[in-house]
Copies of this chain bind each other. A is one copy, B any other.
Amino acid sequence: MLELYHSGLTTCSKQVRHCLREKGLPYKNRYVELWRYENISPDYLKLNPNGVVPTLVHDGTPIINSFCINEYIEDAFPEPPLRPADLKERARMRYWAWTADEIHLQLARLTHARMLQQSVNELSPEDQKIMLDHTPVPDKRERWRVLTKGGYSTEQLDAALDNVMFVFGRMEQEISRRGPWLAGATFSLGDISMLAIVHRISEIHPGRLDRSAFPHLMGWWDRNMARPAAQFVYATGTDEVPKRPPKKSIAGIFEFRL
């Protein structure tokens, strides 16, 4: 029995939801409301001591980190394969899955500025303190602390976007040389991981996804988004991507159970 604790259209949640959907695997949908900081509630921290989504629970055992979860799904449920049979393609698949994690930190800055800063501003000082006190990973706590102090500078955000665009340039080159997929001939976990990154930029900096600058990357984007699994994963208004609930104090999360 599979249960997925996730938060809909957050980057890492998208990666695992997409993998499960490509496999056609049924799972229990456990939506974690980040807006109520359920991810740092005591019950969730028992599943995932880093306090991040997603977590896959398979027959009672939690598996954490989106890249590790997707490799686990591939190990446990190998059909249809999302790891290329050719070992050099497989190494490229892992390179791109790794690159998605590597660039995630830069992407998070951009995401926080555009999608989270306002929500952190609206927290009461008491709720900000609860949030900071219960965020277990020091680096993540520091990033949240920056948001409580007004957020990143324009210079920092420009630098983050430069890094993302450098990776997109590398994707353009790789797809033009080897395509149609990032690893080569085979659609793989590497495509799933990077699609979540490109999708976020399509939400917050759509002008950067320029079809004349990135013809091969955008062809790859079209091929990905045409897949039925991607159409479900990236849709809004489904059970897995509910509307944002009304704002409430986050103090209550330490009383209710997930």
List residues of A whose CB falls within 8 A of some B CB.
Answer: 49, 58, 61, 63-65, 67-69, 71-72, 75-76, 87-88, 90-91, 94-95, 98, 101-102, 105-106, 136-139, 142, 159, 162-163, 166, 170
- The listed residue with most B CB atoms (<10 A of its CB), out of A49, A58, A68, is A68
Rounded to whole angstroms, the CA-CA distance of A9 and B123 in the bound complex is: 47
Apart from the given pairs A49-B170, A72-B91, A75-B90, 14 other A-B contacts in the complex at a CB distance below 8 Å: A64-B95, A65-B94, A65-B98, A67-B94, A71-B90, A72-B87, A72-B88, A75-B87, A76-B87, A101-B101, A105-B105, A138-B162, A138-B166, A139-B163
Which residue of chain B has the shortest Cβ distance to A91 in the bound complex?
B72
Q: How far is the CA of A163 from the CA of B139 in the complex (A)?
A: 6
Which B residues are CB-close (under 8 A) to A76?
Answer: 87
Residues of B within 8 A of A61 (CB): 88
Measured between beta carbons, the chain B residues less than 8 angstroms from A105 are 105
Closest chain B CB from A104 CB (angstroms): 10
Give the Cβ gap from A220 to chain B, nearest Cβ, in Å: 19
Which of A91, A105, A138, A166 is packed against the most chain B CB atoms within 10 Å? A91
Q: In whole angstroms, how far apart are the Cα atoms of A162 and B141 in the complex?
A: 12
Number of this chain's copies in the complex: 2
Chain B: which residue is nearest A160 at the CB level? Answer: B139
A91 and B106 form a contact (CB under 8 A): no
CA distance A125 to B166 in the complex (A): 26
Cβ contacts A to B, 25 pairs, < 8 Å: A58-B88, A61-B88, A63-B88, A63-B91, A65-B94, A65-B95, A65-B98, A67-B94, A67-B98, A68-B91, A71-B90, A71-B91, A72-B88, A72-B90, A72-B94, A75-B90, A98-B101, A105-B105, A106-B139, A136-B166, A137-B163, A137-B166, A138-B163, A139-B159, A139-B163
Residues in chain B near residue A137, CB distance under 8 A: 163, 166
Selected from B69, B87, B94, the residue in CB contact (under 8 A) with A91 is B69
Smallest CB gap from A69: residue in B: B91
Chain B's nearest CB lies how many Å from the CB of A94? 4
Smallest beta-carbon distance A75→chain B, Å: 5
User: Contacts of A71 on B, CB cut-off 8 Å?
Assistant: 90-91, 94
Q: Which 5 A-B pairs have the closest CB atoms?
A: A68-B94, A72-B91, A138-B162, A63-B91, A75-B87
CA distance A163 to B95 in the complex (A): 25
Contacts of A102 in B (CB 8 A): 101
Closest to A56 in B: B91
In the complex, how many angstroms separate the beta carbon of A19 from the nearest chain B beta carbon? 14
